Chain A
Amino acid sequence: MSTSRQHPIGGSRRVARRQPRLLRGAFVAASAALAGVLVAACGSGGSGGGSGSGAAGGGPVHIKVWAWYPDFKQVVDQFNKTHKDVQVDWVQAGVGQDEYTKLKTALKAGQGAPDVVMLEFQELPTIQLTKGLLDIGKYGANDDKKNYVPWAWNQVSDGDHVYAIPVDGGPMAMLYREDIFKKYKLKVPTTWDEYKQEAAKLHAADPKAYMTDFGSDESAAGWLQGLMWQAGSRPYTYSASKLPNIGVKTNDDGAKKVYDYWGDLVKNKLVDTASYATTDFYNGLSSGKYATYLAAGWGPGYLQSVAKKTGGLWRAAPLPQWTAGGNAQGDWGGSTFAVTSQTKNPKQATEVARELFGTSEAAWKIGIDQAYLFPLATPILNGSYFQDKKYEFFGGQQVNKIFGPAANNIGTFDWSPFQDYAYNTQTSEVGKALQGQTPWSSVADNIQQQVAGYASKQGFKVSQ
């Protein structure tokens, strides 16, 4: 839950879920049911169109953008300075779920959505399915395909249809406390087996220390999914052009392997189980209670902001592998810019989505240095500014030399168009296992049963 501050992380589910809960609790709690109904009631048949008016009598077209990156203002200023006919009006409409709730309400009401909206990858199919997103392939977005890593482009497009422009990603790696590793003579693990051995060694040497924290809240749902992604799990087979077909297999071998592995660590008390969105967790990161943090590409910046006083003690290493010498990777989080179906200026909105960051070095320097974004545009990702950047917090290590190759080795992945339901189910089932109410071995099957049931009820033709 978070409380109030804007966090320096680029699109990630974790961020998304972190602070805003409170706010959500606060007003939404009070007014949710009534307000939702009212908005829906008043809004039917509205005229559509964000704020994009402008332009009738000359002058630049104004495009309204919802985004939550820290220091995004500088990026917007940069854009407005370099564009004459299009100007961006930026609105901070809340982080993650907060923004999505507003967007879904606006889409359902038929008015009030912005022209361009920041969405995390896993949210795209959900919004696209409700016809909330414009196919910007028609407005030239396909030309950008060559600028992005294939797995990322694959997630925003469906053949020639393009539903968003990727911005940042979250390839995963292992951040670890070098001082703790030295103190207890731990070896930097390269496989998950070694990771478990070192966890046991550490916990035996200091019962108050843990190898890491196994988050079980919604902000950790994407984390766990990223680890399963690495293990080869592909829970959904989905493409917007093949509706109503969907493949649901949340209990495939990769998923089961990950649940069994972490279930075992939890049972042996080798990892802590605080929720990711809590002060207990932040405290664990800065007090040395956790020796590693399995992070995404935006993690170094995040860690820097929540565990300031541990500056210089951390190092980055590749994510442990299931098979020695392997090179499997997964992604956790990441954001895109999508154009909503309510825009009145699809051409200009597409231009904004493509060029706010795009491959602009000036914009990306702000994104990398201030907002801790992990670029998915290949010229930036593989460019020397990003690759060679040294991080004081990591003792001068060029951490992007670890995350960079990971980003280039992520396999393709389909999200379901009901990802909120899927993540919530995952969170509840993992929660039950953590509380000892169900065995870990049945977690994956329980999720499969519920998610497949939900999908059929929603009219999908489900193949399992």
Chain B
Amino acid sequence: MGLLLVTPFTLLFLAFLIAPLCYAFWLSLRTSTLVGGDHFSWFANYKQAFTDPQFLSGVRRVVLFGLVQIPVMLALALVGALIIDEVTSRLAKVFRMTLFMPYAVPAVIGALMWGFLYSPTFGPVNSISNALGLGSVNLLSHNLMLTSLGNIVTWQWTGYNMIVLYAALQGLPREVYEAAKLDGAGQIQTALRIKIPMVSSALVLTLMFTIIGTLQFFTEPRVLEPTASSVISPDYTPNLYAYNLAFQYSEFNYSAAISFALGAVVFIGSYIFLFLTRRRSGLK
């Protein structure tokens, strides 16, 4: 009976995840060229991927991006969660909603909106800096692009992560706080020594999701590309590169290999991360 109940899920799972994965893997083991025909080439595409400067520079770029953006975003989310957990006025509700709202805006719309805000001619950022006599800053230039993208992603996801952490905080037993208070702990000490350690498994979870999301960075650079195409190259992130390889350069096989290579990086990265944090994550 139980088996019967999971059948619909299993069928969909096989049809829409496992089968395409197998097909993509099979594709990635072949090499088909525009005029040279199609042949089985074993792991040649993978070998090429891990020596391809375009792929590797994309990986380096998202790793660098993640190293800065992830801590900033999670710190903001954690602080936000601790604040709304502490404050129980009506204001907390408004605050919670406001921070969460960007998450409700589709990533494409968000990125597009920021594209306008960053615009050298129309953007309020530039109007303000010009009004203050600071001259104009090109937020879409090569030097500032990663920062500008980081801002978009942070804006979009902080609220989401905050809600996850807030939910974890809400689940903590209140008696512990009483005890801490009796022992003389102030609010900050309670937060640092009691609350944060107790929600560490939620922190690991959000961190995990964020790392996976960052490695697959695609939508924001994709949407800003037309506005700043001299900065965002077709290989700007590994995912963008895989997309362009398949749909612009007709290199479906190599694109499949890049996608799998990226998948492997994500999988191994997550595994190591979970292994290292297994005590905190509650997964041991």
Give me the interface of A with B, judged by CB distance under 8 Å.
Answer: 1-3, 17-18, 21-22, 24-26, 28-30, 32-34, 36-38, 40-41, 97, 101, 104, 108, 126, 129-130, 216-219, 243-244, 273-275, 277-280, 283-284, 417-418, 420-421, 424, 427-428, 430-432, 434-435, 437, 454, 457-460
Contacts and interface: CB of A to CB of B under 8 A. Distances in A.
Given A1-B112, A40-B23, A216 B229 contact: yes
10 contacts: A18-B226, A29-B219, A37-B24, A40-B27, A104-B247, A130-B34, A273-B230, A277-B227, A280-B122, A459-B34
Contacts of A25: 108, 111, 219, 222-223
A428 B231 CA distance: 8
Contacts, number: 146
Interface of B: 16, 19-20, 23-24, 27, 33-37, 106, 108, 111-112, 115-116, 119-122, 141-142, 218-219, 222-223, 225-231, 233-234, 242-244, 246-250, 252, 256, 259
A158 B24 CA distance: 36
Given A41-B23, A280-B119, A29 B33 contact: no
A37 B20 contact: yes
A138 B202 CA distance: 68
Contact of A21 (B33, B116, B225, B248): B225
A146 B228 CA distance: 43
A413 to B, nearest CB: 20
A275 B108 contact: no
Nearest first, the 3 closest Cβ-Cβ pairs linking A and B are: A459-B36, A431-B230, A217-B229
Contact of B33 (A26, A283, A459): A459
B229 A275 contact: yes
A234 to B, nearest CB: 21
Contacts of A278: 119, 226-227
B226 A21 contact: yes
Contacts of B23: 37, 40-41
B250 A104 contact: yes
A293 to B, nearest CB: 17
Given A22-B112, A424-B234, A435 B35 contact: no
Contacts of B225: 1, 21, 217
Nearest to B239: A33
B142 to A, nearest CB: 4
Contact of B34 (A1, A32, A36, A417): A417
Nearest to B225: A21
Nearest to B20: A37
A104 B250 CA distance: 9
Given A280-B121, A283-B122, A435 B141 contact: yes
A458 B247 contact: no
Nearest to A244: B35
Contacts of A129: 34-35
A32 B108 CA distance: 15
B229 A431 contact: yes
Nearest to B221: A25
A437 B16 CA distance: 43
Contacts of A460: 34-35
A435 B142 contact: yes
Nearest to B256: A37
B230 A216 contact: yes
A458 B225 CA distance: 27
Contacts of A280: 119-122
Contacts of A1: 112, 115, 223, 225-227
A216 B141 CA distance: 13
A116 B115 CA distance: 37
Given A21-B225, A37-B27, A435-B231, 18 more contacts: A1-B112, A1-B223, A24-B222, A33-B243, A36-B246, A217-B225, A217-B230, A274-B120, A275-B226, A275-B229, A277-B227, A279-B121, A284-B121, A427-B230, A435-B141, A437-B142, A457-B33, A459-B35
